[in-house]
A and B are shown apart, each in its own frame.
Chain A
Amino acid sequence: MDTLLNAEEREFAQKMRQFYRTEIPEELRFKVATGQELTKEDMVTSQRILNQHGFAVPNWPVEWGGQDWTPVQRHIWLEEMQLACVPQPLPFNVSMVGPVIATFGSQEIKERFLPATANIDIWWSQGFSEPDAGSDLASLKTSAVRDGDKYIVNGQKTWTTLGQYGDWMFNLVRTDPNVKKQAGISFLLIDMKTPGVTVRPIQLIDGGHEVNEVFFDNVEVPVENLVGEENKGWTYAKFLLGNERTGIARIGGSKVNLARAKAYAAVTKTARGTLLDDPLFSARLTRIEAELTALEMTQLRILSTQAAGSDKPDPRSSVLKLKGSQLQEDISELLVDVLGPQGLDFVTDRAQGEGLSDLPLGAVDALPAYFNTRKVTIYGGSSEVQRGIISKALLGL
C-alpha cells in the first residue's frame, strides 16, 4: 500500500521501518514474530527505547512527549511497528490513562504522572469492568465515598489485564449513587500497594495468566488522585474508549501472522502434497488475504478523510473493529489448522527429548493463541456493541 502514500509519508514510513529494525533488539522482535510470551522486562525495555526516541507516546500533546503528526503518520508509526514485530507500548499507559490525564488532569497530576507513564516507570492497570458491568459499563458499582481529604473505595474490578505487574490502577468509581448512572462516576487513580487492594489471578482457557480480579476493601485514596472533576468520569471514559478503538484492527499484526501461517503451510506435507496446495485450505487462506486487503483499504479511506480535516471520531471505525477482530480470530484458527494433529497438545517447548523429533514450528503457541484471541471480539466494545453502534449511528435504526 506504500504506493498510496505521498513522498513525505513514504519517507516517514521508511524512517520508522529502519528505526524499529535497528533500535529494538532482534531477540524481542523474534519473540513477537514467533508468538512467544513477553516478560514484563521485555515490554519495559521496548517501551523505554521507543520513549528515548520520542516514539512511545506520539498521540500525546507535544509538551508531554507527543508528536505533531498527521493521522496518516500515526497510522504508519503503528503499522510499521507491528510489521517489525516490535512489542507495543503498554496500551494502558500510552493510549488510555495518559491521554485522559493529559486532556483532563490538573497541571500537578500531569507533572506527577505523565513522564513516568510514558517511560513505563509506572505500570498502569485498568479498573473499568466489574462482574456485573461489562458491555453495560456505566452500571458499575465500586464505590468511592468522600471522607475528608480521602476517598474510601470498596468493590471489585475484573478482567484487569496484566494487573499482576501493575503499580497503579486507573478506575471508574461511583461517587454519586443517587443520580443517573452515567452522572455519578469519577476517574480515580489508585496506588496498588495501598492496604486493602488484593489482586487475584484468573486462569484463562489459553492456559495463561493474563487477567485478574482486583478487590478493594476500605481502600483509602487521597482526593488529589482524582482526575478532572468529580462525577465527570463517564465523559473521560468515553474519550478513552474512543482512543482504544483506533488501531484496534491490528492490520500489521494480522499480516505478520498470516504470512507466518502461509509459510508454515508451504512446508507442511499432506497426503496430496503441501497444505498450501490443498484447494480448500488455499481458498480459505486466499479469501482471508483479500479480506485483510479490504480492511486495510477501509482503514486508509477513513484516515484519508481524517487527514482532509475532520477530527471527530468516525463511527466507521466500528467497522474496523468488527471486521479486524474477526480476521484476527480467523488467522489464529488458520495456524491451528496448519498444525493439525501436532498442535493439539499444550506444550511449553517444541523439543520432546529422548531421541524424539521436535514438534513443528508453531506447536507451542498456535493453540493458546487461538484461545487467547477469542478475546478480541469481546474487548474494546464487543462485536455486538459495534453492530449496535453501526446500526444506530450509520444506518439510523
Chain B
Amino acid sequence: MDLELNDIQQELASTLNKYLRSEYDTQAREAILHSEEGISREKWEAFAEMGLLGLAIPENYGGAEMTFAEVAVVLEAFGRSLVLEPFLATAVLGANAIAAAGSEEQKQEILPSVCEGQTFLAFAALEPGLRYAVDAPSTTASAGADGAFTISGEKNGVLGGDVADQFIVTASENGELGLFLVAATATGVSRVTHRQADGQGSASVKFDNAPAQRLGAADAHAVVAELLDTANAAIMAEAVGVMEASLTMTAEYLKTREQFGAPIGANQALQHRAADLYADLEYARSMALYSRLAVTNEEAGSEKDRHRDVIAAKIIIDQSARTISQESIQMHGGIGMTMEYPIGHYAKRLTVISRTFDDADSLTAELAEIGGLIEPQAADLN
C-alpha cells in the first residue's frame, strides 16, 4: 500500500510551490485582485509554459498526458497561494468536457489552445431558480439545417464565465440532455460578470438563439456526472491547500500575538481548538485523497462507487472547511476581519468552495438516498 505522492508528483509540487512563493505572494495576488480583469494573463502564460494547463490532456492535443493525480497536486498548491486564475474552469471542467465529449475536430481546435494558454473555457450548467441540480436544464437547444444548433436560455454561477472564450453549455434538445459549445463572441450571447466573495470571476450568461456546436454524441448524463465528480475532487485538493495555509498561519499567529504578557497560544482554550482544526485538516487530506483515488479508478463499473465516494469526501471537506475558516478568523481576532490581512481571504475561498457544485447538507441527503457507505448488517437480524 502506498498512498504517498510519487517522485514526479513531489517534484511538481515542490517546483510549483517554489514558483508561487516567489511570484504569487500576497502583494502579487493583491495586485491581480485589484486589476480590471481580476486575473493575470501573464501568470496564465507562465502556467502554460510550465505545462500546467495540459497536464491531463493527451499528448497529441498538446498536453502532458499525465493523470488527475498531477492535476490535484497543482490545485493543492494553487489553494495554498489562493491563485485567482480560472484553472478549475478552463483546465479541469472545460478541458475535461472537450476531451470527454468533443469530436476529433473540436479537440484539435480547442485543446492545444487551452494547453498554450490561449483559450479560456467555462462550464455553464447552473440555472436561476434551481439549486445545484444540473440534469434537466430549462435552456434549450434546437437543431437547424446542416447540423448546426442554436441555444436559448439563461445560466448563472458560471465559474470563469467572466473571461471565457468558449462556453460548454448544458441544454435540453427535445427533452434530452446535451452538451453544446458556444463562442462567447457569438451573436445572441450576453453576459454580466461577477466577482465571487473569494475574488474569482463568474458570470450570468444569456443565450438568445446563439449559434452552437454539439459536443459529441456521448451519453451527456454520464459525461456531466464524471465532469462534476472530477471537478469536485479537484476543488477538494484545492481546499486542502487553502486549509493547510490557514492553519499554518493561525498557528503562527497564536505563537506570536501577545496579550496579557504571553503569546495567546499559551492558552489551553486556544491550543485545544487548534488541535481540533489539525484533526479536521487531517480528515480533509484523507478525503481529498479518497476522492482522487475514486476519480482515477479505471476499473469497469466503478462509476457508481466513484460518485458515492466523491460525495462522502465533499461532506467531510465542507465540514472541515467551515470549521477551519470560521475558527481561523476567530483566533486572529479583529485583524482576521480585515481585507489587509491574508487570513480572511483564505476563509472567503473556503466559504465559496464549500458551496461550489453542491453543499454538505444536500450531499448528505444524496448519500443517504443512495444507501450510504456501509451495508446495514446485524448478526441477529435476517
Q: Please, which residues of chain A bring their CB within 8 A of the CB of B271? A: 387-388, 391-392, 395, 397
**Contacting A289 at CB < 8 Å: which of B283, B372, B381?**
B372
CB of A224 within 8 Å of the partner chain: no
Nearest opposing residue in chain A for B248, CB measure? A395
**Interface-forming stretch among B186-194, B213-221, B339-347, B362-370?**
B362-370
CB of B316 within 8 Å of the partner chain: yes
Per the bound structure, the CA–CA distance linking A289 and B363 in Å amounts to 13
When the two chains form their complex, are residues B372 and A285 in contact, meaning their CB atoms are under 8 A apart?
A: yes
CB of B53 within 8 Å of the partner chain: no
Q: Please, which residues of chain B bring their CB within 8 A of the CB of A337? A: none
Question: B246-290: which residues lie under 8 A (CB-CB) from chain A?
Answer: 247, 251, 254-255, 265-266, 268, 270-272, 274-276, 278-279, 282-283, 285-287, 289-290
CB of A372 within 8 Å of the partner chain: no
Q: Please, which residues of chain A bring their CB within 8 A of the CB of B293? A: 3-4
CB of B31 within 8 Å of the partner chain: no
CB of B2 within 8 Å of the partner chain: yes
When the two chains form their complex, are residues A361 and B380 in contact, meaning their CB atoms are under 8 A apart?
A: yes
**Contacting B380 at CB < 8 Å: which of A34, A282, A316?**
A34
Per the bound structure, the CA–CA distance linking A30 and B272 in Å amounts to 40
When the two chains form their complex, are residues A300 and B378 in contact, meaning their CB atoms are under 8 A apart?
A: no
Per the bound structure, the CA–CA distance linking A285 and B376 in Å amounts to 11
**Contacting B282 at CB < 8 Å: which of A255, A263, A267, A319?**
A319
When the two chains form their complex, are residues A395 and B372 in contact, meaning their CB atoms are under 8 A apart?
A: no
When the two chains form their complex, are residues B285 and A395 in contact, meaning their CB atoms are under 8 A apart?
A: no
When the two chains form their complex, are residues A294 and B316 in contact, meaning their CB atoms are under 8 A apart?
A: yes
CB of A308 within 8 Å of the partner chain: yes
**Contacting B285 at CB < 8 Å: which of A3, A295, A301, A361?**
A301
CB of B300 within 8 Å of the partner chain: no
Residue-wise interface mask of A (290-306) relative to B, using a CB-CB cutoff of 8 A (1 in contact, 0 not)? 11111101101101110
When the two chains form their complex, are residues B381 and A290 in contact, meaning their CB atoms are under 8 A apart?
A: no
**Contacting A4 at CB < 8 Å: which of B3, B272, B279, B374?**
B3
Q: Please, which residues of chain A bring their CB within 8 A of the CB of B365? A: 279, 283
Q: Please, which residues of chain A bring their CB within 8 A of the CB of B283? A: 291, 294-295, 298, 323
Per the bound structure, the CA–CA distance linking A342 and B251 in Å amounts to 47
Per the bound structure, the CA–CA distance linking A3 and B1 in Å amounts to 9
Q: Please, which residues of chain B bring their CB within 8 A of the CB of A262? A: 372, 374, 376-377
Q: Please, which residues of chain B bring their CB within 8 A of the CB of A391? A: 271-272, 274-275, 278
Nearest opposing residue in chain B for A326, CB measure? B279
When the two chains form their complex, are residues A260 and B378 in contact, meaning their CB atoms are under 8 A apart?
A: yes
When the two chains form their complex, are residues A258 and B374 in contact, meaning their CB atoms are under 8 A apart?
A: yes
CB of A72 within 8 Å of the partner chain: yes
CB of A191 within 8 Å of the partner chain: no
Q: Please, which residues of chain B bring their CB within 8 A of the CB of A72? A: 1
Nearest opposing residue in chain A for B276, CB measure? A387
For residue B194, give the distance in angstroms from its CB to the closest CB of chain A.
32
When the two chains form their complex, are residues B254 and A397 in contact, meaning their CB atoms are under 8 A apart?
A: yes
**Contacting B1 at CB < 8 Å: which of A33, A282, A304?**
A304
Per the bound structure, the CA–CA distance linking A297 and B297 in Å amounts to 16
Question: B231-258: which residues lie under 8 A (CB-CB) from chain A?
Answer: 247, 251, 254-255
CB of B379 within 8 Å of the partner chain: yes
Q: Is the interface of B mostly helix, strand, loop or mixed?
A: helix
CB of B312 within 8 Å of the partner chain: yes
**Contacting B4 at CB < 8 Å: which of A33, A34, A308?**
A308
A262, A307, A391 pick with most chain B CB within 10 angstroms:
A391
A291, A294, A392 pick with most chain B CB within 10 angstroms:
A294
Q: How many residues of B contact A (CB 8 A)?
A: 49
Per the bound structure, the CA–CA distance linking A3 and B364 in Å amounts to 24
CB of A238 within 8 Å of the partner chain: no
Nearest opposing residue in chain B for A258, CB measure? B374
CB of B315 within 8 Å of the partner chain: yes
When the two chains form their complex, are residues A305 and B4 in contact, meaning their CB atoms are under 8 A apart?
A: yes
When the two chains form their complex, are residues A264 and B378 in contact, meaning their CB atoms are under 8 A apart?
A: yes
When the two chains form their complex, are residues B2 and A307 in contact, meaning their CB atoms are under 8 A apart?
A: yes
Nearest opposing residue in chain B for A283, CB measure? B364
**Contacting B377 at CB < 8 Å: which of A263, A305, A397?**
A263
When the two chains form their complex, are residues A293 and B287 in contact, meaning their CB atoms are under 8 A apart?
A: yes
Asked if A390 meets B286 with Cβ closer than 8 Å, knowing A4-B293, A397-B254, the reply is no
Q: Please, which residues of chain A bring their CB within 8 A of the CB of B361? A: 283
Per the bound structure, the CA–CA distance linking A292 and B268 in Å amounts to 28
CB of B375 within 8 Å of the partner chain: yes
Residue-wise interface mask of A (272-291) relative to B, using a CB-CB cutoff of 8 A (1 in contact, 0 not)? 00001001001101110111
Q: Please, which residues of chain A bring their CB within 8 A of the CB of B313? A: 290
Nearest opposing residue in chain B for A286, CB measure? B368
For residue A297, give the distance in angstroms from its CB to the closest CB of chain B.
4
For residue B250, give the distance in angstroms from its CB to the closest CB of chain A.
9
Per the bound structure, the CA–CA distance linking A181 and B18 in Å amounts to 47
CB of B373 within 8 Å of the partner chain: yes
Per the bound structure, the CA–CA distance linking A279 and B365 in Å amounts to 8
**Contacting B255 at CB < 8 Å: which of A29, A303, A386, A397?**
A397
Asked if A259 meets B374 with Cβ closer than 8 Å, knowing A279-B365, A294-B316, the reply is yes
Q: Please, which residues of chain B bring their CB within 8 A of the CB of A298? A: 282-283, 285-286
Per the bound structure, the CA–CA distance linking A283 and B297 in Å amounts to 27
When the two chains form their complex, are residues B373 and A303 in contact, meaning their CB atoms are under 8 A apart?
A: no
For residue A316, give the distance in angstroms from its CB to the closest CB of chain B.
7
When the two chains form their complex, are residues A297 and B364 in contact, meaning their CB atoms are under 8 A apart?
A: no
When the two chains form their complex, are residues A286 and B367 in contact, meaning their CB atoms are under 8 A apart?
A: yes
Per the bound structure, the CA–CA distance linking A305 and B289 in Å amounts to 14
Per the bound structure, the CA–CA distance linking A212 and B243 in Å amounts to 45
When the two chains form their complex, are residues B289 and A301 in contact, meaning their CB atoms are under 8 A apart?
A: yes
Q: Please, which residues of chain A bring their CB within 8 A of the CB of B375? A: 259
CB of A6 within 8 Å of the partner chain: yes
Q: Please, which residues of chain A bring their CB within 8 A of the CB of B2? A: 6, 304, 307-308
Can you list 22 pairs linking A and B with CB atoms under 8 Å apart?
Answer: A4-B293, A6-B2, A34-B380, A258-B374, A260-B378, A262-B372, A285-B368, A286-B368, A287-B319, A289-B312, A290-B315, A292-B373, A292-B374, A294-B283, A297-B286, A298-B283, A300-B3, A304-B1, A361-B378, A391-B275, A395-B247, A395-B271
- The interface of chain B, by Cβ under 8 A from chain A, is 1-4, 247, 251, 254-255, 265-266, 268, 270-272, 274-276, 278-279, 282-283, 285-287, 289-290, 293, 297, 299, 312-313, 315-316, 319, 361, 364-365, 367-368, 372-381
